Amino acid sequence: MFDKIIFHVDVNSAFLSWEAVYRLKILGEKIDLREIPSAVGGDVEKRHGIILAKSIPAKKYKIQTGESIHEALIKCPNLTLVQPHYDLYDKSSKSFIEILKEYSSCVEQYSVDEAYCDMTGTDYLFGSPVVAATIIKDRIYRELGFTVNIGISTNKLLAKMAGDFKKPNLVHTLFPDEIEKMWRLPVSELFYVGRATTKVLLKLGIKTIGELAKADVTMLRSHLKSHGEVIWCFANGIDVSIVEPQAPANKGYGNSTTIAFDVENAAIAKLVLLSLAETVCTRLRKDNMITSVVSVSIVNFEFKYVSHQMTLFTATNITNEIHKASCRLFDELWDGTPIRKLGIHTSRVIENDHVRQLDLFTMDKYEKYEKLDRAIDTIRFRYGEHSIMRATYLNGIYKMDHMSGGISKEKLKPEGEEVFYK
């Protein structure tokens, strides 16, 4: 028997599956999106027009996640497209994680649709690993309506690789003595091997994971530096990471927004930055954190990206201070080219211990700003984020969200029931 038993649980076509189940169970639709060429995509008019998830029938048309909706419709003109609803996905994700926690006390949520479970020693409770995985898989389908793949091995890497074998709704093992199952796969399918790394490996004559496992580490390191050694270890099934049920502390807070029109006016851009600062600083204060580094990013209408950062005189989470710093960075960065996307990001985040380095120019404003933000946070918590906003966003020429960034409000909740998965 192995010392460790790790499960990797992955929802099959997560966003599309969750949309399909919602539409069948709540809206009463007769067509299952999973059984026809379909995809979850963004809003073309608002420039979020990419494929986020696709059905298995859509794969036959070689539709790829991340490609534009325009490209996908050329490949498959009868493709059924639905817009994403992220509140629904969040509820669906939490529901399947709660089921996993009934079978393991050590569950690490890796992403919205993936999790690792340390199942070591649970064979006395649920049977062999394959039996336990089948029980979990079938229960998720029975109670929540969507399918998962479960990979089983002795470490996270091999469990994840096993979970990516044939789909959907299957259980696969990849124990160390079965590693040849992985070795015959193309090297591009190895975890942590992206497009750029694949190109380098192919130039070196390495086409399969098995060939990578038998390659000279020194040679790999000379071409790929430390990353070469990491993927060599992975190809040999070596992974020392553990399942961590507690998420690591947030190292930075940030948000960005794609604007519905090309911004050519600095004043409008700074209004967008203010709305981003509102969102970012609200999150900082909620977690009782402060930041000492602020950066601003710009994507212009030609999709060129630039960014600029600065270190603050003292760490803060005050909206006015972050916005002021962002405007200064924007003025130093922007060359007048029409703007498509703006972002504010923070780093060097620490816990707020209420010790602040004061200066002659801000010492009389700091406490006022802090009390103001605290009062606004309280009102928004009780009555919703739209209960109070700055007057500058009222009756403006442009319709602009006073707290922007991340997911647009219309994509948060689907029509119909407010609650699907409890």
pLDDT confidence tier of residue 66, bands split at 50, 70 and 90: confident
Q: Strand order in 289-300's β-sheet? A: 254-263, 339-351, 289-300, 305-316
Q: Does residue 416 register a pLDDT over 60?
A: no
Residues forming a β-bridge with 50:
68
CATH code: domain of residue 43: 3.30.70.270
Indicate if 343 and 282 belong to the same structural domain. yes
Distance CA 57, CA 38 (A): 8
Min mean pLDDT across 75-79, 153-157, 245-249 is at 245-249
Token pair recorded at residue 315: 């760490």
pLDDT confidence tier of residue 384, bands split at 50, 70 and 90: confident
Task: Please state the rounded mean pLDDT for residues 253-274.
Answer: 88
**Looking at residue 363, what is its pLDDT?**
54
Indicate if 164 and 73 belong to the same structural domain. yes
**Looking at residue 395, what is its pLDDT?**
67
pLDDT confidence tier of residue 189, bands split at 50, 70 and 90: very high
Q: What percent of the chain has pLDDT over 70?
A: 89
Indicate if 159 and 283 belong to the same structural domain. no
Indicate if 208 and 314 belong to the same structural domain. no
Of 114, 278, 321, 385, which residue is the catalytic one?
A: 114
Task: Please state the rounded mean pLDDT for residues 185-197.
Answer: 93
Residue 78's contacts (CB-CB under 8 Å, 6 or more residues apart) are 37
Which of 154, 172, 190 is a domain's end point?
A: 172
Distance CA 113, CA 92 (A): 9
Q: Does residue 332 register a pLDDT over 60?
A: yes
Task: Please state the rounded mean pLDDT for residues 270-277.
Answer: 93
**Looking at residue 419, what is its pLDDT?**
46
Indicate if 212 and 349 belong to the same structural domain. no
Q: Does residue 418 register a pLDDT over 60?
A: no
Indicate if 10 and 123 belong to the same structural domain. yes
**Looking at residue 87, what is its pLDDT?**
85
Task: Please state the rounded mean pLDDT for residues 110-124.
Answer: 93
Q: Please indicate, yes or no, if residue 226 is contained in any of the structural domains.
A: yes
Q: What percent of the chain has pLDDT over 90?
A: 62
Which of 148, 172, 196 is a domain's end point?
A: 172
CATH code: domain of residue 188: 1.10.150.20
CATH code: domain of residue 334: 3.30.1490.100
Indicate if 360 and 319 belong to the same structural domain. yes
For residue 158, give its domain range.
1-92+111-172
pLDDT digits (tens, 9 = 90+) for 193-243: 988 899 999 999 999 999 999 999 999 999 999 999 999 999 999 999 999
Q: Does residue 171 register a pLDDT over 90?
A: yes
Indicate if 8 and 124 belong to the same structural domain. yes
The identity of residue 69, as a single letter, is: I
**Looking at residue 47, what is its pLDDT?**
45
Quick check: is 114 catalytic?
yes
Number of structural domains found in the chain: 3
